């Protein structure tokens, strides 16, 4: 699942119309037998894979006992120069589950925030004290290095990478396609406005929801939204409430607040900038809508990061 989960995310993204993602499977040897006994064959030599700035190297998990016994030490020595070279060239590295152990052993996690499987956390803190291991996190990004806590959080991490590149609509569609919730980090709820209220089959409402989600800073009127949904204002307002259980303005505000949840953790963003990016008329407007939906102040929420 460490391997297949992220692969399926990018595969589905390509099938749904994103710029095609080319996935290559590589290793030190041509064939690897997984801990579960599955043979992975036909792997490309890692040092012959051509990568450029912005590409990703995903490192799946390793058996904890095998790692601690030193069985992988020679393989790690072999791969370390290649990983370091590509990181300096702008290639991004993502680890899934216990794959963070491998990256920690290369030294590339020194002075970096990271996470790993709960079973690895104490071991990493003791044996790689230069790493800044985060507990109770689904995934962590520090610069060009990403790490995730477990098998399924590798999927969460891959979805977050998609969102950063394409916006929220595409990863929400991918999550729905592979039947998972889209979770951003350990502080966000599993449920999200990008997936909620989407179980209906009304194409006009889906088109309007997609537009609102893709353009949170805009405040389109009912006539504009009705044109997007190829319907009348009266029909749209009635069908939107029937399909989602919420009015259009309620949904628009929920989308804006969801975006604010993400932006508020960027400490360089002022409240004025956040309110502008989310399409609120003012910080006061943001605070009022936020308070209704979240139940805690913006300041308190920001301090939870």
Q: For 212-232, write each residue's pLDDT tens digit.
A: 988 999 999 999 999 999 999
- CA-nearest of 283, 189, 203 to 240 is 203
**Do 123 and 216 share a domain, yes or no?**
no
How many domains does the chain fold into?
Answer: 2
**Do 145 and 228 share a domain, yes or no?**
no
**Do 111 and 14 share a domain, yes or no?**
yes
Q: Would 53 be classed as within a structural domain?
A: yes
Q: Would 116 be classed as within a structural domain?
A: yes
Q: Would 176 be classed as within a structural domain?
A: no
Q: Would 115 be classed as within a structural domain?
A: yes
DSSP letter at 134 equals P
**Do 26 and 151 share a domain, yes or no?**
yes
Q: Would 175 be classed as within a structural domain?
A: no
Q: Would 185 be classed as within a structural domain?
A: no
Q: Would 189 be classed as within a structural domain?
A: no
The two three-digit tokens of residue 84, written as one number:
């370091």
CATH number of the domain at 227, please.
Answer: 1.10.10.60
**Do 234 and 111 share a domain, yes or no?**
no
How far is 44 from 61, CA to CA, in rounded Å? 19
pTM exceeds 0.85 for this model = no
**Do 9 and 158 share a domain, yes or no?**
yes
Find residue 92's DSSP bridge partners.
56
Domain that holds residue 216: 197-305
Q: What is the pLDDT of residue 191?
A: 53
Helix (H, G, I), strand (E, B) or coil at 146: strand
**Which parts of the chain have pLDDT scores under 70?**
181-192, 195, 304-305
Scan for tokens 């997007």, then name that residue: 228
**Do 254 and 125 share a domain, yes or no?**
no
User: Taking a C-beta distance cutoff of 8 angstroms, is the pair 172, 213 a contact?
Assistant: yes
User: Taking a C-beta distance cutoff of 8 angstroms, is the pair 235, 222 a contact?
Assistant: no
Q: What is the pLDDT of residue 35?
A: 86
**Do 141 and 208 share a domain, yes or no?**
no
Phi and psi angles of residue 280, each rounded to the nearest 5 degrees, phi first = -80, 150
Q: What is the pLDDT of residue 192?
A: 64
Q: Would 97 be classed as within a structural domain?
A: yes
How far is 221 from 24, CA to CA, in rounded Å? 45
**Do 151 and 201 share a domain, yes or no?**
no
Q: What is the pLDDT of residue 158?
A: 95
CATH number of the domain at 68, please.
Answer: 3.40.50.880
Residue 157 CB neighbours (<10 A): 28
**Do 275 and 208 share a domain, yes or no?**
yes
Q: What is the pLDDT of residue 44?
A: 97
Q: What is the pLDDT of residue 17?
A: 82
**Do 47 and 117 share a domain, yes or no?**
yes
Among residues 149, 168, 187, the one where a domain terminates is 168
**Do 59 and 147 share a domain, yes or no?**
yes
């Amino acid at each position: 699942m460490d391997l297949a989960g992220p692969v399926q995310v990018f595969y589905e993204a390509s099938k749904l119309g994103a710029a095609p993602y080319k996935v290559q499977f590589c290793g030190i040897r041509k064939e690897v037998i997984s801990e579960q006994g599955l043979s992975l064959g036909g792997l490309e030599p890692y040092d012959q894979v051509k990568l450029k700035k912005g590409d990703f190297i995903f490192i799946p998990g390793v058996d904890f006992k095998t790692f601690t016994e030193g069985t992988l030490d020679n393989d790690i020595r072999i791969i370390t120069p290649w990983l370091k070279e590509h990181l300096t060239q702008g290639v991004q590295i993502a680890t899934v589950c216990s794959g963070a152990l491998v990256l920690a052993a290369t030294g590339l996690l020194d002075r970096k925030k990271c996470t790993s499987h709960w079973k690895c956390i104490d071991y990493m803190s003791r044996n790689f004290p230069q790493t800044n291991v985060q507990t109770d996190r689904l995934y962590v990004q520090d610069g060009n290095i990403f790490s995730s806590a477990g098998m399924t959080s590798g999927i969460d991490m891959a979805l977050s990478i998609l969102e950063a590149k394409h916006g929220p609509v595409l990863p929400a569609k991918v999550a729905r396609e592979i039947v998972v919730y889209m979770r951003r980090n350990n502080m966000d709820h599993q449920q999200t406005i990008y997936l909620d209220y989407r179980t209906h089959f009304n194409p006009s409402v889906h088109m309007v929801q997609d537009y609102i989600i893709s353009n949170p800073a805009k405040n389109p009127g009912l006539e504009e939204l009705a044109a997007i949904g190829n319907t009348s204002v009266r029909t749209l307002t009635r069908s939107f409430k029937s399909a989602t259980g919420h009015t259009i303005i309620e949904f628009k505000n929920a989308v804006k607040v969801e975006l604010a949840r993400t932006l508020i953790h960027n400490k360089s963003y002022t409240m004025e900038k956040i309110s502008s990016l989310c399409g609120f008329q003012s910080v006061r407007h943001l605070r009022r809508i936020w308070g209704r939906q979240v139940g805690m102040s913006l300041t308190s929420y920001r301090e939870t990061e």
